[in-house]
Amino acid sequence: MSSTTLVTNIGTLVTNDPTQNTGPLGLLHNAAVLIDGPRIAWVGSATAAPPADTAHDAQGRAAIPGFVDSHSHLVFAGDRTQEFNARMSGRAYSAGGIRTTVAATRAATDEALEANVTRYLREALRQGTTTFETKSGYGLTTHDEARALRIASRHTEEVTYLGAHIVSPDYADDPAAYVELVTGEMLDACAPHARWIDVFCEKGAFDGDQARAILTAGKAKGLHPRIHANQLSYGPGVQLAAELDAASADHCTHLTDADVDALANSRTVATLLPGAEFSTRAAWPDARRLLDAGATVALSTDCNPGSSFTSSMPFCIALAVRDMGMTPDEAIWSATAGGAQALRRTDIGRIAPGTRADLVLLDAPSHVHLAYRPGVPLVSEVWQRGVRTT
């Protein structure tokens, strides 16, 4: 029998549970949460809490579900400080920088890549991320892509095959042959280690027809699609995502009205990655426009050494509130329940009986402080699968 812990005296609790009938965040005040093993067993008022083996006093602090970072690129080596410096002196971001990381990643040992993933996911955990998705995409050979996915799958079940990040430099003269590799031998080697397939649909990466071919081939092997879409320019990615029932269209920075309609009228989540616009000095995605149209929005870090080298979901929340038209409540929902929806998961992103016991206690009386006090380390305790990690 597992032991139970009652986290009690929570000043404000974000449950994201609509059955609480207290609005989209399912807010409860003076609340308690009963944890039984890796799951939540009970949620309610601290004054009505059931008995437990152990009690843990939250001392009036706010609590939220662990962040769900549904988009990161953690299997890489090296960094791109020089490229960042050049950008901050006025140079534009280009997908070509990916090649620098591909060279460093290919040259790295398994141990070095593994150590890097561990380092960044610990960093993220300290900032409240209890679930993360991560991708290949810096190998671009059958061997290096499969290796990246094997390493990623030791740390998360949300693993994405992104052999179609850019055309491999080895195939610069024959992109069609690279698409053949990505949809053939490389897919066969990678599919057993991944849940998702992704493609960077963008000028300079893969066009709409190539992206459709790649995602369709992945689907035939049992992988579910998600797309890097409409990041640097307008394009077919978002509508392709909706057409293929992709779980998410990620970036969504350049959207036509038809793109917004497609997202609003599909199950595809718009995953916004404000760290990328911050680190590339680009125009912000318009979260307000998407929300007002009825689309579901997730927030995520896109953590990678090129366009967004942050693992901080609180930082992304603060940017989304300040610059993308989101309210603090909307941004916190998008960083938790929204991320879960982008991964088609119902067991995370919410605090309700039966969900995974992933809970973040904040050094603040209210969840709103995550946006109100930007850059301040407010995450004071992180519980993952019922175990306190920090």
Q: Which residues are annotated as a binding site for Fe(3+)?
A: 71, 73, 228, 302
Instruction: Give the integer Cα–Cα distance in Å for 282 and 243.
Output: 27
Position 302 contacts ligand NIG (CB under 6 A): yes
- Quick one: which segment of 143-151, 304-312, 329-337, 348-356 binds ligand NIG (CB under 6 A)? 304-312
- Quick one: which segment of 124-132, 300-308, 330-338, 374-382 binds ligand NIG (CB under 6 A)? 300-308
199, with CB counted inside 10 A (0-12, 13-18, 19+), is: buried
Tokens of 174: 């024959």
Position 84 contacts ligand NIG (CB under 6 A): no
Instruction: Give the integer Cα–Cα distance in Å for 46 and 6.
Output: 9
Give the residue among 25, 24, 28, 53 at the shortest CA–CA distance from 41.
53
- Of 188-217, binders to ligand NIG (CB under 6 A) are 200
Q: Which of 149, 151, 213, 276 binds ligand NIG (CB under 6 A)?
A: 276
Contacts of 264 (CB under 8 A, 6+ apart): 290, 293, 294, 295
Position 133 contacts ligand NIG (CB under 6 A): no
Summarize the annotated binding site for Zn(2+) as residue ranges: 71, 73, 228, 302
Count of residues interacting with ligand NIG (CB under 6 A)? 12
Which residue, 26 or 236, has its beta carbon nearer to Fe ion?
236
Instruction: Give the integer Cα–Cα distance in Å for 50 and 56.
Output: 13
210 binds, among ligand NIG, Fe ion, none (CB under 5 to 8 A by kind): none
Please state the closest distance from residue 228 (CB atom) to Fe ion, in A: 5
Instruction: Give the integer Cα–Cα distance in Å for 33 and 390.
Output: 18
Tokens of 144: 């290096």
Q: How many H helices and E strands in the chain?
A: 15, 17
Site pattern 223..242 for ligand NIG (x: CB under 6 A) = -----x--x-----------
Which residue, 5 or 72, has its beta carbon nearer to ligand NIG?
72
- Of 249-308, binders to Fe ion (CB under 5 A) are 302
Summarize the annotated binding site as residue ranges: 71, 73, 80, 138, 165, 228, 231, 302, 304, 306-307
328 binds, among Fe ion, ligand NIG, none (CB under 5 to 8 A by kind): none
Which residue is listed with tokens 């009386």?
A: 365
Q: CB atoms < 10 A from the CB of 243, how many? A: 14
- Quick one: which segment of 9-17, 207-215, 282-290, 301-309 binds ligand NIG (CB under 6 A)? 301-309
Please state the closest distance from residue 268 (CB atom) to ligand NIG, in A: 17
Q: CA of 14: how far to CAs of 67, 163, 170, in Å?
A: 12, 37, 49
Please state the closest distance from residue 304 (CB atom) to ligand NIG, in A: 5
Tokens of 325: 């038209």
Instruction: Give the integer Cα–Cα distance in Å for 328 and 309.
Output: 23
Please state the closest distance from residue 87 (CB atom) to ligand NIG, in A: 11
Contacts of 176 (CB under 8 A, 6+ apart): none
Q: What is the DSSP letter of 224?
A: E
Give the residue among 156, 144, 183, 202 at the shortest CA–CA distance from 303.
156
Instruction: Give the integer Cα–Cα distance in Å for 145 and 76.
Output: 11
Which residue, 62 or 77, has its beta carbon nearer to Fe ion?
77
Q: CB atoms < 10 A from the CB of 192, how many? A: 12
Please state the closest distance from residue 90 (CB atom) to ligand NIG, in A: 18
Instruction: Give the integer Cα–Cα distance in Å for 268 and 260.
Output: 11
5 binds, among ligand NIG, Fe ion, none (CB under 5 to 8 A by kind): none
Which residue, 78 or 353, has its beta carbon nearer to ligand NIG?
78
Which residue, 101 or 341, has its beta carbon nearer to ligand NIG?
101
Summarize the annotated binding site for 4-imidazolone-5-propanoate as residue ranges: 80, 138, 165, 231, 307
SS3 302: coil
Please state the closest distance from residue 304 (CB atom) to Fe ion, in A: 6
Instruction: Point out which residues bind ligand NIG (CB under 6 A).
Output: 97-98, 101, 200, 228, 231, 276, 302, 304, 306-308
Instruction: Point out which residues bind Fe ion (CB under 5 A).
Output: 302
